[in-house]
Amino acid sequence: MSQRSKHVLVTGGAGYIGSHAAKALAAKGFVPVVYDNLIYGHRWAVQWGPFVEGDIRDRAKLISTVRDHEIEAIMHFAAFTYVGESVARPERYFNNNVIGSLALFDAAIETGVRHVVFSSSAAIYGIPDRAPISEEAPQSPINPYGETKLIVERALHWYGAAHGITWTALRYFNAAGADPGGQLGEDHLPEAHLIPLVMQAVLTGKAVDVYGSDYPTRDGTCVRDYIHVTDLADAHVAALEYLLNGGASVALNLGAGRGYTVLEVIQTAQAVTGREAPYRIVERRLGDPDVLIADPGRAERILSWRPQRSTLESIVASAWAWHAQPAKATPR
Ligand SMILES: NC(=O)c1ccc[n+]([C@@H]2O[C@H](COP(=O)([O-])OP(=O)(O)OC[C@H]3O[C@@H](n4cnc5c(N)ncnc54)[C@H](O)[C@@H]3O)[C@@H](O)[C@H]2O)c1
């Protein structure tokens, strides 16, 4: 007798990381049921299972979706993600990211869904006093976006203990790159991430801003840990399987475990594309730590997962293949 494939609710699955995770889920025999209000996501990015257009703050719609699709676990990506905007408009972030997540967890409790894989962030660490950063580093976010992620982690801790929900909080560093099959990529509007901005600079000839060149790093620009989005997607499937196999709730850093400066990213883009990536040095931004590098050791041990594609060359080459497509931004 054939077993029914497990159905997984993927909130925010029309977005950048969620769509790559949906593809990875389908490749492992799961059915990803994408739940997204399309405020930032794209309908064309939903290609591997059913789509439900809805808001995570709509508890009744969540409950009916979980029941209709016989959902057994949740991957929760849906959130607002613009750090600068979160400082100017914190109410927007607490409302969507916190109240939305609580509505989702209420729906899980009510319907008996017992596993949640949550998109947390390195932003919960604030300005770290060490590199690499382990999960035990102090948690002190310096913006409302990071604060919302930490609050949701804490809610998961208490909801899980009370209601028998097991969860993983996956604290990503900088997600980057694109699906090696060319079906998905990063398509944010507005774009705030370095690698797509550098790709746009290559394509348009318009300089990308580099915020500060006087940090205590090897070339004066900030160091970040870039993790290929496909590696992230694979870690999500591994985290889900870990929970389905009875694994205990845990927070895990997801990064490559090494860092590159902004200028190294620009130089790599020039080498990969064979074209100039114009840039200009501008003032530092408030609240940018000089170095952010993950210690991904716990994720590697617990999930038996290792980044496979997260060299800077591989990330930039996949991003370039995506951004250089002529029809990229049009629905397919
Ligand atoms: N991109 C990164 O480098 C990074 C780093 C750390 C953490 N994260 C987290 O990963 C997750 C995914 O990030 P992303 O870069 O793919 O962002 P994204 O904006 O591409 O995807 C988020 C998706 O959530 C949807 N959404 C937002 N609010 C919703 C709501 N109320 N109801 C239903 N859908 C809603 C959007 O339409 C979008 O499709 C987010 O939770 C983000 O905070 C991302």
145 catalytic? Reply is yes
Pocket test for ligand 1, best of 9, 10, 11, 17 (most atoms within 8 A of CB): 17
CATH architecture type of domain 194-224+257-304+306-323: Alpha-Beta Complex (3.90)
> Among 10, 11, 16, 65, which is best to mutate for testing ligand 1, by the most ligand atoms less than 8 A from CB?
16
Q: Where are the domains of the chain?
A: 7-177+226-254, 194-224+257-304+306-323
Helices marked H in the chain — which ranges?
A: 16-27, 59-68, 83-88, 90-93, 100-111, 144-163, 194-204, 229-244, 262-273, 297-303, 312-323
The pair of three-digit structure tokens given for residue 275, joined into one six-digit string: 């074209």
What's the pLDDT tens digit per position in 59-74?
999 999 999 999 999 9
Closest ligand 1 atom to 188 CA: 20
* CB within 8 Å of 281: residues ≥ 6 apart: 210, 212, 213
Q: What is the mean pLDDT of each run of 10 residues along the chain (332 residues)?
A: 84 98 98 98 97 98 98 98 95 98 98 98 94 96 97 98 98 97 92 93 96 96 98 98 98 98 98 97 91 97 96 97 75 42
Q: Among 237, 225, 217, 215, which residue's Cα sits nearest to residue 194?
A: 225
Name the fold adopted by 7-177+226-254: Rossmann fold (3.40.50)
Q: What is the pLDDT of residue 1?
A: 45
Residue nearest to atom 9 of ligand 1 (CA): 119
What pLDDT score does 332 carry?
40
Global pTM?
Answer: 0.96
Catalytic residue among 145, 172, 215, 279: 145
pLDDT given at position 4: 85
What's the confidence (pLDDT) of residue 2? 54
**pLDDT value, residue 179:** 96
Nearest CA residue ID for atom 34, ligand 1:
36
Q: Two tokens at 33?
A: 């049921």
| Pocket-forming residues, ligand 1, beta carbon under 6 Å | 11-12, 14-18, 36-41, 55-57, 77-79, 81, 96, 100, 119, 121, 172, 174-175, 188
Give the pLDDT confidence score for residue 188 in this predicted structure: 87
